[in-house]
Amino acid sequence: MMAPAVSVIPLLGIISCVAAIELRFMPDPPTLNIYGVHRMNKSDNLELICKGRQYLRWKTPPTSTRFSISDCSGSGLFCKTLHISNATVNETGQYQCSYRDLKVEDGKTSASAYVFVHDYKVPFVPSEKDYEVVFIREGERVVIPCRGSVENLNVTLHTKYPNKELHPDGKDSFWDARTGFTVPSHLISYAGVVSCQTYLGNETFKSPLYIVAVVGYKIHELTLTPTQPRLSVGEKLVLSCTAITELNVGMEFNWTHSGQALTSVNGSRPTHTIPHKKKLWNTLELSNTLTVENVTVDHTGEYTCTASSGLMEKSATAYLTVHEKPFIDMKEPWTRVWEVNVDETPTLIPVRYTAYPEPSFKWLKNGKSLKGDYRIKQKSDCLIIHKVTEADAGNYTMVLTNKITKEEHNRTVQLLCLLALLTRRWQGDNDVYLYGSSPTLRCTASGFPTPAQIEWQWMSKEDCPEAFTSGLKKKSEAQLEKCTSWRDISNNTGHHPVERLMIDTEGQRKITSSLKIQKAESPALYRCMAANKVGKDSRIIFFHVTRGLEVSVSPSNEPLEEDYVVLRCKADKLLYGNLAWFRVTNISESEQVVSLQPCRSLTLQRRPLSHGMRPSVQGSNVTLELRLPNATRQDEGLYACQVENIKTQDRTCLLQRLSLKSLEAARILNNLTDQKVNVSATTALHCDAAGVPNPTVVWTKNNHTVVEGSGVILSNHNQILTIQRVKKDDSGLYVCTACNSRGCDTSQAFLTTEGAEEKTNVELIVPIGSVVIAMFFWLLIVFVIRGRKRPNGGELKTGYLSMILDSEDMPMDEQCERLTYDANKWEFPRDRLKLGDPLGRGAFGQVVEAAAFGIEKATTCTTVAVKMLKEGATSSEYRALMSELKILIHIGHHLNVVNLLGACTKPGGPLMVIVEYCKHGNLSSYLKSKRGEYSPYKRKRVG
C-alpha cells in the first residue's frame, strides 16, 4: 500500500509555467555494446550487438560488404548482432541500429557507432563509383566526401581546372575523417574536378576524383492545365504541366492517376509525355505534356503532376471526367408557371442542366424565335427580362441541341405578369449615416388596390450581428431568417431613436411612409411592410453609422527621439478606401493647419510613404499604419493620410504634425544624506530621478541589489526605498542608480542603526500559528467523526468513507472500493499536461513538477504537482494510488491541505494524480532551516 498522502505532499516543488504539449510515449532507445568511435586495424574482426524493446534493423556504410547480421533475441529483448570479419578500409563508416517500425531519431529510436579501419596504405575510403558527382549551390558550404580511414591527417583539397591547392583554415574550410573536406562553394564552383590529398611519410595519397556541378533547385510556380477537363469515351486527353524555376535546375516530372502511377488502362494505348524547355530572362520554363489517346471511363479521376528538383518539390492537380457518350440532362423540378410583377427588375427564368459537350441553345416565345432587345438577355442557363411589362406574358421554351449527336431537349415555362401584386420603389435601402445626424428613411409601396398602410419594425445590431459582417453588401431576407427579434414602431410606442412617423398616399397606386430618426448612434435594421388583397411584401433597410476619420500617434502624442513611432490612420471601410501616407511639402513648421482638408490643396510627395504596406481591417474600420522605427529629427514634419470616398472618389487628407521630444540623460534631483535609525523603527530613502526617457532606478546595499521582501518596500517606480522594523543587518552603504538610454547618475548614503535588537522573529509567528490551527482542526474533525454511530454494512452508501479510518471498521481496501470517482468532474486530458523535473520519490510512487493548461481557467497555465507510479509498479500499487485519489476527493477542499485538482485515469497512459503545488517547499525543511529561531533556550541579551 502507498505511503499516506501527508508524507508525500511535502515533496512538491515549483516549475515555470509553459504551454502544455502533447505527451509522447515511446520505448527506450536501443543499446549497443560499443558507443562513439571504435578504431580497429585492417583484417581485424568486430562484433556489434544491439538490443531494444522492438524489432531492430542495422544500417551500414554503403561501401561495407564484409559483414553479416544475426538474431540474438532473448530475455524479453529484441537483439541483432552485426559481425565484421577480415575488415578492410571499405568497412569504415557509421553503423546505426534503429527500431524498424519507428521514425529514426538519434538518441530516441536509434543508436550508432563510428568504426575506423586503419590502413596507412589506403588512408582515404574508396568511393562506390570511379567518379562521384558533388552538386553545389552558390552561397552554401559544400562537403567533398573524401572520408579517411585514419584520423588526424593533414589533408589538402586539389582543384584540376585551374590547378590549385586549398589548405584548411579551421573555420570555413576544414577536413573531418568522418564526413570529408568542407569548403565554401565559391572556392570550387568553377573547378570542374577536385580530390583530397595527404602525405604519410614520404608517400603521397590521393582520394577518388569528384566532379563538381553547380545547380539550382527553386521552383517558383507549377501549373497544370486544364484544371477540370471533360471528355467522352474515345477522345484524347492532353494535360500540360509547366514549372517556372531558377536557372540551372534539373527537373523530374512524375504523373499519377488517383494516387497511382500512370499505366495502360484496359488495354488502351499507354500514356506518353513530351518534355519542353524554354529559357526566359532570369528563369527557366520547363513543361511536360501528358497525352492519353482514346480515353475510357476508367480514366476518370484526379491527375497529379509532381515536379522535383531534388531539394524542392511541388504538385498540381486536375480532375478529369469521362462520360460514356455525349448527353443532355435537363434537371427537375421544372417550374411550369412563373409569376412576376410588372416593372420588376430584373426577372430571371433559370434553366438547370448538365451536358457534354456544351450544347447550343435558343429561346422561343409562343413557339416562335425570341427576338432579343436591350431588356431581354438570352443565356444558356437563364432568361433575363428587365422591367417586365404586361406584353411579356406568354409561353417561353428553352431548346438545347447536342453539337455531336444533334439531339434536342426542351422545356417550357408560362410567364404571368401580375399587375395587382405590390411593386416597390424603396429609398435608403443601404445607406451610411454620420454619427449624431437625424436622417429620414422613406419606404414607398405600389399596387392595386392601394395598400392601406405601411408598418415599421426595427432590430438592433446586437440582435443580428451577422447582418453587418460584410459591410455594405446587401443580404436577402432569407439570409436573415435567424434574426427574429423585430420590434414594432409607431408614433405612440415611445421608441427612443425615432422622432416622427408619417404616411402619405400618392395617387391611386402608391403609398409612402417616412421614418425620422432622432439621432444616429448605432447600426440597426429597419423593416417596412405593406399588404393588399393580392399579397404582402417587405423590405429591410440596413442602417449603418460611421464616426468618420481619425488619425493618431503612438506610443504617445509626444513621442521621443529613437522611439518606435507609429502613425495610424483609421477610416470607416463602408465610406473610404485606398488609404495612403504622404509627407506635406508646401506648409511650413510654424504655419497653423486645418486637420482635415481636400488633398488637392496640398503639395504631397509623388510616392506614398506607405507604399507596399497593406491596411488592416477591424470591425467596420480600416487602419493604415506608417511605422517609423528609431525615429530621428529628420522624421519630424507634417504628414497627410489620404483617403478616397468609395462613392464619389473624392480624396481627403487628414494632417498630423510629428514633433519628437529630445532625449535627456538620467539625473538624480536630490542628494541622499546619511541617516541614523533606531532598531525596529521605519525609515525611507528618497531618490527623485528625472530624464527622457524616464530612468530606471535600482538600489544597492554594500554593492548588492536591494529587492522587495519582508519589511523592504520599493515604491514610486523604485524612487522610494522604505525599510520597516529596521535591524542591525540593515546598516550599510545604500546607493541609488538611475539610468536610461542616455546615461546614468548615482547618489549614496550610509545608514547606521542604533539600539538593541529584539530577537523575536515576527515572520515566524504566521507559519507557527497556521500549523497549530491546522492541527487543532484536524483533531476536532477526528473526534467528531469517531463519535458518529457506525452504520451497518448494508446501510453504507456508495461514496461514504470516514476521513479517519478506524481499525475496528471493515478493511481499508474494502472501504476505499466503496468510494466513487466522477470522471466528468475530475478527469483532465493528458495532452494538456506537460511533465517537468522530478520532485521526490516514495515507496512506490514519484512526484514531478508539471504545467497544466486550463485546469483552473480556460486560458491559464498553472504550475501543479503530479503523483504517479514508478516503472514496473504492480496492480496492488495501482489500486493503492487509486484509493489515495478517491480519499482526496472525499476529503474535499481545505485551506490547510494540499488539495486535489484533477486526475488522468483513462486508458492509454499512466495513472496521474494532479494536486496543488507548494511554492515554499516542504514543511520539514523549512522548520529545520529556522531551528535557531524556534530554540526555547535562546534568551534576550541584557546589557
Q: What is the pLDDT of residue 496?
A: 47
DSSP 326: -
Overall number of domains in the chain = 8
Give percent of the chain with pLDDT exceeding 70: 83
Q: What is residue 229's predicted lDDT score, i.e. its pLDDT?
A: 92
Give 486's contacts (C-beta < 8 A, 6+ positions apart): 457, 458, 459, 527
Question: Residue 938: which of 765, 758, 770 has the closest Cα?
Answer: 758
Q: Looking at 640, 658, 676, which one is the last position of a domain?
A: 658
CA distances from 44 to 66, 70, 122 (A): 11, 19, 16
**Which three three-digit cell numbers place residue 507?**
395617387
Strand residues in 137-292 grouped as ranges (E):
141-144, 155-159, 164-166, 174-176, 180-184, 193-200, 203-206, 209-214, 219-225, 230-232, 237-245, 252-257, 260-261, 272-279, 284-292
CATH number at residue 800: 3.30.200.20
Residue 63 shares a structural domain with residue 107: yes
Contact 308, 315 (CB under 8 A): no
pLDDT at 246: 81
Span 229-266, pLDDT tens digits: 999 898 899 999 999 988 778 788 899 988 888 764 44
Cα–Cα distance, 560 to 551 (Å, whole number):
19
Of 86, 78, 74, 70, nearest to 29 by C-alpha is 78
875: enclosing H helix or E strand: helix 875-891
Band the pLDDT of 477: cuts 50, 70, 90. low
CA-wise closest residue to 132 among 141, 122, 140, 142: 142
CB atoms within 10 A of CB 439: 16
Q: Exposure of 740 by Cβ count < 10 A (0-12 exposed, 13-18 middle, 19+ buried)?
A: buried
Give the three-state DSSP class for 25: coil
CB neighbourhood size of 385 (10 A): 20
Which of 762, 684, 691, 696 is closest to 722 using CA atoms?
Answer: 684
**Which 3 state secondary structure label does DSSP give 898?**
coil
pLDDT band at 610 (very low <50, low <70, confident <90, very high): low
Average pLDDT rounded to a whole number, residues 77-94: 93
Which range among 257-271, 573-587, 629-643, 705-719 shows the weakest confidence by mean pLDDT?
257-271
Cα 760 from Cα 675, distance rounded (Å) = 25
Neighbours of 431 (CB within 10 A): 14
CA distance 131 to 286: 29
Strand stretches in 53-102, DSSP E: 56-59, 67-71, 78-84, 93-99
pLDDT tens-digit readout, 148-198: 999 889 999 998 877 888 999 888 899 999 999 999 988 887 778 899 999
409 pLDDT higher than 60: yes
Locate 593 and state its grid cell. Answer: 493647419
Q: Which residues pair with 440 in a beta bridge?
A: 516
Same domain, 410 and 428: no
CA separation, residue 278 to residues 56, 242, 252, 467, 714 (Å): 49, 10, 15, 52, 73
Residue at which a domain ends, from 721, 754, 787: 754
Phi-psi region of 379 (alpha: psi -120 to 50; beta: other; left: phi over 0): beta
Question: For 661, phi and psi rounded to 5 degrees?
Answer: -85, 130
pLDDT of 116: 94
**C-alpha cell, 773:** 490551527
pLDDT bin (cut points 50, 70, 90) of residue 218 is confident
The confidence score (pLDDT) of residue 503 equals 62
Is residue 850's pLDDT more than 50?
yes
Query: CA 941 to CA 756: how far, in whole Å?
Result: 9
3-state helix, strand, coil in the chain (%, to 5): 10, 45, 45
Q: Residues 381-406: what's their mean pLDDT?
A: 82
* DSSP label at residue 53: S
Q: Residue 663: inside a domain, yes or no?
A: no
Report which of residues 264 and 600 the model is more confident about: 600
Within-domain flag for 126:
no
d(CA 439, CA 433): 7
In the three-class reduction of DSSP (H, G, I as helix; E, B as strand; rest coil), residue 488 is classed as: strand
Is residue 772 included in any domain, yes or no? no
Residue 146 and residue 223 in one domain = no
> How high is the pLDDT of residue 766?
55
- pLDDT tens column, 299-337: 999 999 999 887 789 999 999 999 988 888 888 777 777
More confident residue, 27 or 803: 27
899 and 787 within one domain: yes
Cα-Cα end-to-end distance for the chain: 58
In a domain, 767, yes or no: no
Strand order in the sheet with 337-341: 337-341, 408-418, 394-401, 360-365, 368-369
Tell me the residue type at 683: T
pLDDT for res 266: 44
- State how far the Cα of 717 lies from the Cα of 28, in Å rounded to an integer: 52
Based on the fold, state whether residues 784 and 843 are members of the same structural domain: yes
CA-nearest of 341, 401, 355, 348 to 375 is 348
Evaluate the omega torsion of the peptide bond into residue 629 and state whether it is cis, within 30 degrees of 0: no
Instruction: Measure the CA angle with vertex 221, ends 218 and 222; round to 5°.
Output: 110
Of 144 and 617, the structure prediction assigns the larger pLDDT to 144
**pLDDT for residue 512:** 81
State the DSSP H helix or E strand holding residue 616, giving kind and residue range, or none if neither: strand 616-618
- In angstroms, the CA 704 to CA 877 distance is 51
Among 762, 755, 761, 699, smallest CA distance to 728 is for 755
DSSP secondary structure, 699-756, as one string: EEETTEE---BTTEEEETTTTEEEE-S--GGG-EEEEEEEEETTEEEEEEEEEEEESP
- Residue 28 DSSP code: P
Percent of the chain scoring above 90 in pLDDT: 19
Distance CA 648, CA 652 (A): 11
Residue 927: CB atoms within 10 Å: 15
The pLDDT of residue 367 is above 50 = yes
Residue 47 has what pLDDT?
93
pLDDT tens profile 718-776? 889 998 888 888 899 999 999 988 889 999 999 998 887 654 444 555 566 677 787 87
**Exposure letters 466-480 (e unless 16+ CB within 10 A, then b):** ebbeebeeebeeeeb
| Tens-digit pLDDT profile for residues 87-109 | 999 999 999 999 988 888 888 89
How is residue 711 written as a grid cell?
519589511
Q: Would 934 be classed as within a structural domain?
A: no
Sorting pLDDT into bands at 50, 70 and 90, what band is 226? very high
Model confidence at 843, pLDDT cuts 50, 70, 90, reads confident
Whole domain around residue 136: which residue ranges?
131-214
Given 658, 678, 706, which residue is the final one in a domain? Answer: 658
The answer to the question of residue 760 being in a domain is: no
Please indicate, yes or no, whether residues 689 and 789 belong to a single structural domain of this protein: no
When pLDDT is averaged across residues 373-389 and rounded to a whole number, the result is 82
What tens digit of pLDDT does each residue of 277-308 get? 776 677 888 889 999 988 898 899 999 999 98
Confidence category of residue 858, pLDDT binned at 50, 70, 90: low
Sign of CA dihedral 546, 547, 553, 555: negative
* Same domain as 438, residue 369: no
pLDDT in the model for residue 662: 84
Residues 503/512, Cβ–Cβ less than 8 Å: yes
Report pLDDT digits (tens) over 523-537: 888 888 888 766 788
Does 874 share its domain with 807?
yes
pLDDT digits (tens, 9 = 90+) for 105-158: 888 899 999 999 999 899 999 988 777 888 887 778 899 999 999 988 999 999
CATH assignment of the domain containing 194: 2.60.40.10
Do 805 and 869 lie in a common domain? yes
Residue 449: per-residue pLDDT: 59
For 425-458, the pLDDT digits (tens) are 444 444 667 777 777 888 887 765 577 778 888 8
Provide CB contacts within 8 A for 777, sequence distance 6+. 896
Same domain, 443 and 534: yes
Structural domain contains residue 24: no
b (16+ CB within 10 A) / e for 319-331: ebebbeebbbeee
Which tops the pLDDT comparison, 499 or 67? 67
The angle formed by the CA atoms of residues 65, 69 and 70, to the nearest 5 degrees, is 160
* Residue 196: strand pairing partners: 157
Q: What is the mean pLDDT of the chain?
A: 80
Looking at the structure, do residues 804 and 892 belong to the same domain, yes or no? Answer: yes
Q: Are 113 and 32 in contact (CB under 8 A)?
A: yes
SS3 477: coil
Q: Any residues with CB less than 8 A from the CB of 797 and at least 6 apart, and which?
A: none
Is there a domain that residue 310 lies in?
yes
DSSP string, 367-434: TEEPPP-SSEEE-SSEEEESS--GGG-EEEEEEEE-TTT--EEEEEEEEEEESSS-EEEEE-SEEEEE
140 and 92 in a single domain? The answer is: no
Q: Over the Cα atoms of the chain, what is R_g?
A: 43
Residues 574-595 have pLDDT tens digits of 778 888 888 888 877 777 777 7
* Sequence-ordered alpha helix ranges (H) in 53-186: none
Peptide bond into 555 cis (omega under 30): yes
Residue 758 backbone phi and psi in degrees, to 5: -80, 140
Assign 421 a pLDDT band (cuts: 50, 70, 90): very low
